[in-house]
Structure 1
């Protein structure tokens, strides 16, 4: 597929169905692009669709099946949009929160493989029903450990507001969880004592609200 260059071709691209619930258009909105007038469109639509399909089918749909609606906060960013956001972040502007383009390949930049050649895709999501039920300090860890035990994620990064989380699918997953909210830092990664085995004791209470957990 060629990069969209008209309203018609962009509409067709947005209709690409990534899973039973999600379409490509769900992941194209960017606050940075909207405010600064950028077109947030992939240069390699086929790679973006392939990576997004894996993200949706293997991570977002299973989450939505158990915990209810998954709301997309931020997802695909073109290199232009992400690069601008990274420049603004380096300049100390609040709210941009974009790492370098190179580190975002196979993360928010879905249409570029990372330095190791892996395809990947990241979306920042909120699960409203989960936050409604578990909004106490540290409760995000219940969701983190549930995902760790059930889904083939690569990386998770949790944020304070509404327990938003950057969730990544990637070929050759890293299996690492970090947080900007209390307790801050790394929750787990390969080699840490808490990485293996089941963590059901940490998330079993979820079943009181979400019977499918």
Structure 2
């Protein structure tokens, strides 16, 4: 279905949410926002077709491999409209740490799927957690087995940012070059596990997750 340049009615937005991005993922679940719901800021793409294009890449290249391996993938935050992201970033700069959003320039080709970055590339970030990993994480608070598994099994990720709460992580698809860095964020601190060109980046890392992670397939 071809969508208009802007979505201005419920019927069109409903049909937009029904768009299938991959075998198991649809656009509707990518539009949910606690901030938008609470403050009445719509999370509707400015460029619906471009957001769908990126959503298909994110879902097929990143989310489907996770689902095949671990079952349910819980989406915490996916697409953010420029209006919503700017609102969230303004609140964050004013001291509302629950609204942790970078500005629109940084989030273009990340959470803002329908804006190219300054180099003209498309990209998309989604924040998820893996319920099947939670039992191990609650015992150990160690994100690294899951991070190394993703490094070995999902070639199309561009960057990973892990967080303390629920071992949630940002995983990004990106059209341009990337260092495939894996970070752990516990604000205000940040540490890097690995990236392209560092010792230990290449090769198999099964010793870090074998016996811990038991993929379904």
Q: Give the TM bin, normalised by the shorter chain.
A: over 0.9
Normalised to the residue count of structure 1, the TM-score between the two structures is: 0.93
Residue 55 of structure 1 corresponds to 58
Residue 144 of structure 2 corresponds to 141
Please state how far the C-alpha of 1:85 moved relative to its aligned partner: 0.9
Residue 210 of structure 1 corresponds to 215
Please state how far the C-alpha of 1:32 moved relative to its aligned partner: 1.2
Normalised to the residue count of structure 2, the TM-score between the two structures is: 0.92
| Match of residue 110, structure 2, among 86, 107, 110 | 107
| Match of residue 187, structure 1, among 188, 193, 206 | 193
Residue 182 of structure 2 corresponds to 177
Please state how far the C-alpha of 1:130 moved relative to its aligned partner: 1.1
- Structure 1 segments of 4 or more deviating over 6 A? none
Equivalenced residues, count: 211
Residue 41 of structure 1 corresponds to 44
Task: Describe the SS at the equivalent of 2:35.
Answer: helix
Residue 65 of structure 1 corresponds to 68
Give the whole-Å Cα distance in 1 for the aligned partners of 2:204 and 2:103.
Answer: 35
Please state how far the C-alpha of 1:173 moved relative to its aligned partner: 4.7
Give the aligned CA root-mean-square deviation in angstroms.
1.7
1:164 pairs with 2:168: yes
Task: Describe the SS at the equivalent of 1:206.
Answer: coil
